[in-house]
Amino acid sequence: MNTLAVVLSGGLCAGGLTMVVMGLLKVHPPSVRAAADAPLSRARHWLKGVSRRTWIASGLGLLAGLVAAMVTTWPLMIVVGPFAAVGIPWLLTAPPNRELELLVALDRWIRGLASSMPTGKSIADAVRATRRQVPATIAEQVAVAVLRMDARWSASDALRAMADDLDSPHADACLAALALASERGGTGATATLNSLVDSMQARLRALREIEAERAKPRVVVRQVTLITMAVMGAALVFGGSFFEPYSTPLGQAVLALLLLAYVGSLVMLRQRTMPPRRERILMREGQR
C-alpha cells in the first residue's frame, strides 16, 4: 500500500507539472502579459518551440513510466520514462552538421554562378541573376548581399559582409575567392569559379568521409543501448527477487547514479562525434 501511495503521489506530481506547462502555454490578457517577468516569457517561448511530436513522446513516456513504477515499485521510473522516450533518441541520433549543409549549398550556388559567367556577366551581375536559384540554406544571406550591392556597396564589400553573416570558415574560403574575382573584373573570373567548384567538391568528399567515420561509433552505441534496454526489461519481468535491493531508498539512489553515469557517457559520445569549430579566415580588423 505504501508503494502504491508513492507511485500515485509521483503521478500526481507529474500531472501537476503538466498542468503548469499548459498554463504557461495559455494566452493571457494584455494586463497579465505585461506583469509577466522576463524569465517566464523566455520559458513560454521555449515551450512553444517544442514540437508536437516531442510532447506526444513525453506523454507516452510518462505513461510508460507510471506503469513501470507500479510494476517494479520504483518511483524513479516516473522520471526515467519521459527521458527515455525523448532524451535517448536525441542522444543517439546524428547531430546536425551545419558546415556540411552550408558547403553543399555554396557548391550549388557557385555552380550556378559559373554557368552564367560565360555570357559576359560580372560577379555582381551573376549574383543578381542567379538569386532566385539559390539554395534555401543561404538564400537569405544572398538576398541581403544583393540589396547591399543595390545600395551602392561594392561587390567585394557585400561578399565580405555575407561571409560575416554566414560565420563559417568554408564560406570564408568561397566568398574570399569571389571577392578577389570581383575586384579583378571579368578577367579570369570563369576560371576562378571553375577552380573553386573543383576545390569545394574535394572538400565535400572529405567531409562526407569524415561524417561516415563519425557515424560508426553512434551506430554501435545505439545497438548496445537497444540490446541493454531489451535485456533489462526482460530481466525486470522474469528476474524475480534479483532486483529487490533497488526498491529501497538507497537502491533508488544507486540506480539514479548508474543511470546518470550512462547518460553522461552518451552525452560525451555526442560531443566527441560533433565536428570541431574551426577558426574563420576572412575576418575584419575589429573582429580579430
Q: What's the domain range around 7? A: 1-92
In which band, very low, low, confident or very high, does the pLDDT at 17 lie, cut at 50, 70 and 90? very low
C-alpha distance from residue 67 to each of 74, 79, 112, 278, 280 (Å): 10, 12, 57, 47, 52
- Residue 211 inside a domain? The answer is no
State whether 68 and 113 are in the same domain. no
CA distance linking residue 273 with residue 32, whole number of Å: 45
Q: Looking at the 3D structure of the chain, how many domains does it have?
A: 2
CA distance linking residue 102 with residue 277, whole number of Å: 14
Over the stretch 25-60, which tens digit does the pLDDT of each residue have? Answer: 444 444 444 444 455 556 555 556 567 777 787 788
Mean pLDDT of 236-250: 80
Of 28, 60, 92, which residue constitutes the final position of a domain?
92
- Residue 246 inside a domain? The answer is no
- Predicted pLDDT at 237: 76
Of 92, 113, 134, which residue constitutes the final position of a domain?
92
pTM over 0.85: no
Over the stretch 63-107, which tens digit does the pLDDT of each residue have? Answer: 888 888 887 788 888 888 888 888 888 888 877 788 888 989 998
Of 92, 108, 139, which residue constitutes the final position of a domain?
92
CA distance linking residue 142 with residue 163, whole number of Å: 10
The C-alpha R_g of the chain, in whole angstroms, comes to: 27
